């Protein structure tokens, strides 16, 4: 039995812990805050899941992730994935729209072409402008992010993992016989292998060993109150969506939070994860309001709920999945760059394999540090 610690209990860490504990390892999950906290990148009621990417590499990987999400739902015995379909649109001649079609065709993912009048009939609360076109992927939807994290941790615990919240790690020391972690208060924990999935705090934790190409950015999203009946924005009548030209995106009403969520996938202001401005300001809301006015008839400019979260960006928006240089006993996953939650169950599977010297059955050299 291998003693393995997982640092960070977000999307990837919770999944890695579940797989490792299920396989019989002695797993300790260390989380500096409460589990399912709202200071990182894995909290909330909705994250888009899709195979629609401009890059077929990610489309192919999502083909591997979907069965793992289905498995998690079965094991957890609860609904974690709302299959609403997804509309991905932009100007008819936009290169990203062409790239999306190509990636879906190359990977055998079915989709429909929608032009503005067709979209208006099917989704009257999502308006394509003249000259725009859309691709509808029926398999897309949204994941209930916090519920996914909690389910992974609950199952990990059921398989014997120990989850320690409010337990910051102050240092790590590779030794010939293992790895020593120094916890807050001076407690030492001796382990054989380490998986670092600490999100915005990963670079700081590993700074004594490697300089990671991570930039933490402050991001916002708003849920707007509808003026039309809320049912018009329900999951049966309204898809998840991404405007490929502007990077605005949104969701149907998720049935749990008030209003309708709209956000902007544009890296925000770089920030220290321990000194984030958690207050939304008018300049945060205004781009979202302007977008809603043009494409989302039936939404008001009033916010029903709003939130600040964090991205951990890499220069090319690819993830980092690798061993610590010169130290194969330490596996790190990070830099999910604002599009990674849908991959977290797969990245947790990969991290668990890497931590136990098992071969990963996919070519992931793009994710090498």
Q: Given this model, what pLDDT does residue 1 score?
A: 82
Same domain, 229 and 354: no
Total tally of structural domains belonging to the chain: 2
Per-chain mean pLDDT for the chain: 97
Same domain, 208 and 61: no
Same domain, 271 and 292: yes
Domain that holds residue 279: 53-143+215-313
Same domain, 326 and 363: yes
User: What SS3 state is found at 342?
Assistant: helix
Q: Residue-wise over 99-122: b if at least 16 C-beta within 10 A, else e?
A: ebbebbeebebebeebebeebeeb
Same domain, 14 and 91: no
Whether residue 72 is contained in a domain is answered as: yes
Q: Given this model, what pLDDT does residue 363 score?
A: 96
Q: Given this model, what pLDDT does residue 70 score?
A: 98
Same domain, 209 and 219: no
Q: Which residues pair with 313 in a beta bridge?
A: 215
How far, in Å, CA of 195 to CA of 336, rounded?
16
Q: Among the three residues 313, 335, 354, which one is the final residue of a domain in this structure?
A: 313
Q: How large is the average pLDDT for residues 103-130?
A: 96
Same domain, 92 and 175: no
Residues 243-269: tens digit of each pLDDT: 999 999 999 999 999 999 999 999 999
Same domain, 113 and 262: yes
Whether residue 48 is contained in a domain is answered as: no
Same domain, 39 and 167: yes
Same domain, 247 and 137: yes
Q: How large is the average pLDDT for residues 9-21?
A: 98
Same domain, 277 and 337: no
Same domain, 262 and 197: no
Residues 117-173: tens digit of each pLDDT: 999 999 999 999 999 999 999 999 999 999 999 999 999 999 999 999 999 999 999
Whether residue 267 is contained in a domain is answered as: yes
CATH number at residue 281: 3.30.9.10
CATH number at residue 188: 3.50.50.60
Whether residue 199 is contained in a domain is answered as: yes
H or E element, residue 112: strand 112-114
Residues 267-323: tens digit of each pLDDT: 999 999 999 999 999 999 999 999 999 999 999 999 999 999 999 999 999 999 999
Q: Exposed/middle/buried for 181, CB within 10 Å: 0-12, 13-18, 19+?
A: buried
């Amino acid at each position: 039995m291998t003693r393995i610690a997982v640092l960070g209990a977000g999307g990837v860490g919770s999944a890695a812990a579940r797989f490792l504990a299920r396989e019989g390892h002695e797993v300790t999950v260390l989380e500096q805050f409460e589990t399912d906290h709202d200071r990182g990148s894995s909290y909330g009621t909705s994250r888009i899941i899709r195979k629609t990417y401009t890059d077929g590499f990610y489309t192919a990987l999502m083909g591997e992730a979907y069965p793992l999400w289905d498995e998690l739902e079965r094991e957890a015995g609860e609904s974690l994935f709302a299959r609403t379909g997804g509309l991905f649109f932009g100007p008819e001649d936009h290169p990203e729209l062409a790239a999306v079609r190509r990636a879906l065709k190359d990977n055998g993912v079915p989709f429909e072409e929608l032009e503005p009048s067709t979209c208006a009939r099917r989704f009257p609360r999502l308006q394509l402008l003249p000259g725009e076109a859309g691709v509808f992927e029926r398999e897309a939807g949204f994941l209930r992010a916090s519920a996914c994290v909690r389910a992974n941790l609950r199952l990990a615990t059921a398989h014997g993992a120990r989850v320690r919240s409010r337990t910051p790690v102050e240092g790590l020391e590779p030794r010939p016989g293992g790895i020593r972690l120094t916890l807050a208060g001076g407690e030492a924990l001796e382990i054989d292998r380490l998986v670092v999935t600490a999100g915005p705090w990963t670079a700081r934790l590993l700074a004594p060993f490697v300089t990671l190409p991570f930039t933490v950015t402050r991001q916002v999203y708003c849920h707007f109150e509808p003026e039309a009946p809320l049912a018009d924005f329900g999951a049966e009548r309204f898809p998840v969506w991404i405007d490929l030209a502007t990077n605005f995106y949104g969701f149907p009403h998720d049935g749990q939070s008030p209003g309708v969520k709209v956000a902007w996938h544009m890296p925000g202001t770089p920030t220290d994860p321990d000194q984030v401005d958690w207050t939304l300001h008018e300049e945060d809301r205004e781009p979202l309001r302007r977008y809603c006015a043009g494409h989302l008839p039936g939404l008001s400019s009033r916010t029903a709920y709003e939130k600040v979260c964090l991205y951990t960006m890499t220069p090319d928006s690819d993830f980092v999945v690798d061993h610590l240089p010169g130290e194969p006993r330490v596996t790190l996953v990070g830099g999910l760059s604002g599009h990674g939650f849908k991959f977290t169950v797969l990245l947790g599977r990969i991290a668990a394999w890497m931590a136990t010297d098992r071969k990963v059955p996919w070519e992931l050299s793009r994710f090498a540090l």
